Structure 1
Amino acid sequence: MCGRFSLTASPDEVKALFDYIEMPNFPARYNIVPTQPIATVCRDSGQRRFRLMRWGLIPSWVKDPSSFTLLINARSETAADKPSFRASMRHHRCLVPASGFYEWRRTPEGKQPFWIAPADGGIMAIAGLWNTWSDPDGGDMDTAALLTTQANAAISEIHHRMPVIIKPENFDDWLDTGNVMVKDVVPLMSPIEGDYLTAVPVSDRVNKVANDDADLQVKVAVSEASATSDTSRNSRKAAKTDQLDLF
């Protein structure tokens, strides 16, 4: 799953890539966590729109969010069939701008975090789903989840899942739910090429929600044993059939 990510690009850089009509201003975030507001890009009336949404999708039919599972990720292989995500796959696809994401590898010493980002240092677009939840008093809240897929060969050495990354030339197809059906975007949810991302080990300071600074993405030294441990276990986990796992 993807439980932490970052967006440190400037508002101008993000707008230049996603070409939405708004001119939002937002700070650099190095450690975005579930339930916090996240930047998203949607399509409305034929135009791309910037929206802030709560990370953690709440389907419109949920009566009490406090008793509902926090849906921060959706498995791309099954999202079109799951009741929680089915409507969003058909009608509410979005893009989530990100500078990169964090993932943890199990080692004999514990979980080692990695900062994973585009090799060219640019901004990536994570495929997302969104929905609007209305409370009994009439208030509306836009919420979103990130789509994940099987990890590519490079990322599988760290974790068996990774976010779905949409390339700029496919932005329109992903966002155009009115004309592009779910079956037509299935190929876009394949793992990104192995050389698209780079991964470096980072400090476990990222584990603490309160830490939100550039030092979280500075490479740290790890022992050779930690750097190579559990690769075979991750490979076996990736090969398992885990369709019953929502995330």
Structure 2
Amino acid sequence: MCGRYAATKDPAALMREFDALDGTDGSGRGPDYNVAPTKDVVTVVQRHPRDADGTPLADEPSVRSLRMMRWGLVPFWAKDPSVGAKMINTRAETAQEKPAFRKALSRRRCLVPADGWYEWKAADGGKGRKEPFFTTTRDGSSLAFAGLWETWRDPKGETDSPPLITFSIITTDAVGPLADIHHRMPLALPSDRWAGWLDPDRTDATDLLRPPERDWVDTLELRPVSTRVNSVRNNGPELVERAEPEPTDLDDGATGALFEVPKQ
């Protein structure tokens, strides 16, 4: 599962790395070392241009762009956006079967750029204490989580009210040493899968839902980090720095502040 990650690159850097236009309209946040659910973050989408009525121009080449979305998918049929808090993750194994994700898997896929993600390993024999770890690339390149997105409009709102754009991160079985920390992980797509995942004309992307290869996973760095990341109030570069295991008596109320990811 994925309940917290870091995303510190500005849109200009992400435009170069993902070969995308900037569609954030200047609303991109600054560096965020502690991205939590319900935050608005940068994602990558690819769509055909649309006419004045919003109809896709299928004959025109699709365009890849950066878009701001809120983490926590709200299905288009939902009556209340609060349901998004329970849909921050989508299991790869069941995405095709779930009504909340099935249509998005076919038509609305995105990439979620990240420096890396946090996961917690049970310590002290699993008696409550958890040690945080940060998984990142060794060369500083971005990870790209596979995501699904939706557009939601308030059924009680005005017709001209802006829509809510939300997304969910797909998770899969952890691979290699990552499984020693937690049995699930975000589905991080190697760069050779980006185009296929984003292709708006591809309605069946189920073959891309497989976990990454062990060789690719072995190129990642898995580092212990400070329990300061447990609290969403903390947000700075020190959160991703390697740290030695801390004493059992945690500060900042860390144990109670740990965000528990809803099970899917």
TM-score tier, shorter chain, comes to 0.7 to 0.9
The aligned length equals: 224
Secondary structure of 1:66's counterpart equals helix
Q: Is the 8 A contact 1:101 1:115 kept in 2?
A: yes
> Structure 1: which 5+ residue stretches go unaligned?
224-244
Q: How does 1:12-91 map to 2 (within 5 A)?
A: 12-22=12-22, 24=24, 26=28, 27-45=30-48, 46-66=62-82, 70-91=86-107
Closer, same or farther in 2 for the Cα pair 1:76/1:217, shift >3 Å?
A: same
The 1:180/1:196 distance shift into structure 2, 3 A limit, reads farther
Runs of 4+ in 1 over 4 A off after TM superposition: none
State the secondary structure of the residue aligned to 2:22.
coil
**Larger deviation, residues 10-19 vs 195-204:** 10-19
Counterpart check, 1:196 vs 2:216: no
Q: Which residue of 2 aligns with 1:122?
A: 141
- Which of 155, 166, 171 pairs up with 1:143? 166
1:153 to 164, 171, 176: 176
Q: Does the 8 Å contact 2:37/2:85 carry over to 1?
A: no
TM-fit CA distance, 1:98: 0.4
Shift of 1:196: 2.7
Give 1:225-240 correspondences, 5 Å limit: none
Which residue in the other structure is 2:57 paired with? none
Give the RMSD, CA atoms, in angstroms. 1.9
CA apart distance, 1:18: 0.9
2:4–2:117 contact (8 Å) kept in structure 1: yes
More strand as a share of residues: 1
TM-score (normalised: structure 1): 0.85
Quote how far apart the aligned CAs of 1:11 are: 2.8
Counterpart-to-counterpart distance in 2, 1:165 and 1:70: 21
TM-score in terms of structure 2 length: 0.79
- Partner Cα distance (2:136, 2:46) in 1: 26
The Cα offsets for residues 187-210 of structure 1, whole Å up to 9 and x where unpaired, read as xx3234331321111111101111
Q: Which amino acid aligns with 2:173?
A: Q
CA distance in 1, matches of 2:132, 2:202: 40
- Give the Cα separation in 1 of the matches to 2:43 and 2:153: 19
Bigger CA drift: 108-117 or 149-158? 108-117
Bigger Rg, which one? 2
Equivalent residue number for residue 235 of structure 2 = 212
CA distance in 1, matches of 2:144, 2:84: 27
- Give the Cα–Cα distance (whole angstroms) in 1 for the partners of residues 118 and 68 of structure 2: 21
Q: What is the rounded CA distance, in whole Å, between the counterparts of 2:169 and 2:181 in structure 1? A: 19
